[in-house]
Amino acid sequence: MRVLIVEDDDILRDGLKVGLALSGFTTDAVATRESADAALAAGSFDAVVLDLMLPDGSGTDVLKKLRDARNDTPVLLLTARDTVADRVSGLDMGADDYLGKPFDLDEVAARLRALARRSAGRSTAVIEWATIRLDPARQSVEKAGIPVRLSRREYSILHALMSQPGAIFSKATLEDKLYGWQEEVESNAVEVHIHHLRNKLGPGLIETVRGIGYRLGGDS
């Protein structure tokens, strides 16, 4: 799950970037409204963590621009102003959730997972497909009740595919979900991770749609 962090405080931005990565998110971080707009226009994010007070404007401007562009990416607002009126106006402006500073890192991660789940139209936290169970909160995967150990990137690909069963993901989309900007993408990394996933969870789980990409195979 790829998350954009928009926060101007260096230490907090760094903490969120590293901390959310530890919780299994792929994270990118920017400090200004301008770069947030640019990042959101360019990349595909599964969620945005947005600070309201930015040096060159307000987070609400970013949010408004995002919604005006008909982009439904879930947005979690972070702000030092957390009176009821602030929460209401933030939510009314199109934010999906609201968290006052200082917050708990685990709570940010949990809320982001919940936002992603809701945007995918699911109500339960655990995703199931055939005999596979994926628990985003614990980053754990089981096959027929037996835990399977996956690397972070393998988990990210499986999570992406299982979040939208039936959808076809191109190689580029999957790479987007795997790598932040600073990370270098190995040329055949996606193929390698898919290969490992098929070895660990059974060859029929992931189908290759020739020339387009990948999707979950078999029946749920």
Partner 1 sequence: MRSIRARLFFILLLTTGLMWLSATLWIFFSTRAEVEQVLDARLMEAAKMVSSLVVNQEIDPDRPAQTKAKIPVLDHPHYDRQLSCQIWSLDGTLIGKSESAPETTLSAHATGLSETVINGETWRVYAVENAELGVRVLVGDNLRIRDRLVNDVVKGLLVPALLIIPLLASLIWLSVGRGLAPLRKLAGDLTARDASDLHPIAETATPSEISPVLRALNGLFGRVAGARQREQNFIAFAAHELRTPLAGLKTQAQVALASSNAEIREKALGQIVAGVDRTGRLVRQLLDIASVEASETARGAVEVNPGDVLASLRNELLGHTRSAATVVIDPGLDQLQVRINADLLRLAARNLMENALHHSPAGGTVHCRLVRNDGTVTITIDDDGPGIPPEELPHVTERFFRGRFKAAVGSGLGLSIAELALEHAGAGLALQNRAEGGLSARIVLPNDLIA
Q: Which parts of this chain interact with partner 1 (CB under 8 A)? A: 8-16, 18-19, 22, 32, 51, 53, 55-56, 78, 80-81, 100-106
Q: Please identify, using beta-carbon distances, which residue of 82 and 128 lies nearer to partner 1.
A: 82
* Residue reference for tokens 């690397």: 151
User: Between residues 23 and 163, which has the closer beta carbon with respect to partner 1?
Assistant: 23
Which of 36, 96, 99 has the alpha carbon at shortest distance from 65?
A: 36
Query: Cβ distance 29 to 43 under 8 Å?
Result: no
Residue 14 vs 183, nearer CB to partner 1: 14
Task: Output the smallest distance, CB 215 to partner 1, in A.
Answer: 33
Least distance from C-beta 20 to partner 1, angstroms? Answer: 9
Q: How far is residue 200 CA from its own chain's centroid?
A: 24
Q: Minimum distance between the CB of residue 216 and partner 1, rounded to whole angstroms?
A: 31
Contact 141, 150 (CB under 8 A): yes
- Sorted by sequence, the CB contacts under 8 Å of residue 110 that are 6+ apart come out as 137
> Toward partner 1, which CB reaches closer, 55 or 145?
55
Minimum separation from the CB atom of position 74 to partner 1 (A) = 20
Coil, helix or strand at residue 195: helix
Question: Which two tokens mark 22?
Answer: 């530890």
Which tokens hold the place of 30?
Answer: 């920017």
Considering the complex, state which of residue 55 and residue 121 has its C-beta at the smaller distance from partner 1. Answer: 55
Residue 24 CB, shortest distance to partner 1, in Å, is 12
